[in-house]
Amino acid sequence: MPILLAAIAASAALITVIGLAIGPHSREALFAVDRERSEVELNLSPGAQRTEVYDSNGKEIGILRYDIDRELITISQVPDDVLGTLLAVEDNKFWTHNGVDIRAISRAMIQNLTSGAITQGGSTITQQIVKLRIVGNESSLSRKIREAVLAARLEEEFSKEQILEFYLNEIYFGNGAYGLQAAAETYFGKDVDQLDVGDAALLAGLIRSPGIFDGFGDVEIVGKRRSMSLQSAEAAGIIDADEREEVEKRGLP
């Protein structure tokens, strides 16, 4: 009980600070100090990509991948149930929040403090983008506040569709695959428009920690991650119980 009370108190304090920070007046004050840098940082330009090499007849003969493998896609290429499954796992309030999900932060903080381990993240997709491209992974209150402020600003500058499309092209799925198209090819030998809910559930289970949850690794661990993703998809109404059970009977790639 003392641990739970302490967790709730700490969570409430953090939420209050973040809530004040993303308020319109505080946000403007922060950006007035750091506006020039922020304008540059908030440019959603794509990361490095692969380059296809063709012969004189237009036949692909090779791919230059440099240090990473990424092929850009648009949201329209992603099946609705695949997109829904990814959102159900990573950010089920994506379409309605303003960049920060206060309740998710509170829930994650209480869970992490009471369990003594980092078991939940609480960051929205918008915050994940800010973390990836701007503020990094430093564990500090100032970093978390700046992440929240920049996420709110990102939501003001870009549409939800633009933010989600950037995320789908940027996120790392392990085994050198950056972005959903590269992940579809790496794990399933498919293009993104051929993915189904089962594929999406497996991929969604890799996002939090692709170095640990390797899609080609321990079958039991990967299977559990996929099952958790399918449960989230069912809770979000993307699939029903029968569809979830059918996918769970499938083997893994």
| Predicted confidence (pLDDT) per residue in 132-160, tens digit | 888 888 777 778 888 888 888 889 888 99
Flag whether pLDDT at 170 surpasses 80.
yes
Flag whether pLDDT at 52 surpasses 80.
no
More confident residue, 198 or 123: 198
Q: What percent of the chain has pLDDT over 90?
A: 40
**How many residues make up the chain in this entry?**
253
Flag whether pLDDT at 18 surpasses 80.
no
Cα distances from 70 to residues 42, 46, 65, in angstroms, run 21, 10, 8
3-state secondary structure 171-217: CECCCCEECHHHHHHHHHCCCHHHCCHHHHHHHHHHHCCCCCCCCCC
In the chain, DSSP assigns E strands to: 51-54, 60-64
Read off the tokens for 143: 């970093």
Read off the tokens for 188: 């399933």
Note the CATH architecture for domain 2-248. Orthogonal Bundle (1.10)
Read off the tokens for 9: 């108190």
* pLDDT level of residue 8 (50, 70, 90 thresholds): very low
Distance between CA 225 and CA 17 in Å, rounded?
33
pLDDT recorded at residue 10 = 47
Mean pLDDT calculated for residue range 55-67: 46
Distance between CA 104 and CA 194 in Å, rounded?
32
pLDDT recorded at residue 14 = 52
pLDDT recorded at residue 163 = 93
Flag whether pLDDT at 71 surpasses 80.
yes
Q: Give me the residue label for tokens 């648009």.
A: 74
Read off the tokens for 23: 């308020």
pTM: 0.75
Mean pLDDT calculated for residue range 214-221: 79
Mean pLDDT of all residues belonging to the chain: 77
pLDDT recorded at residue 29 = 44
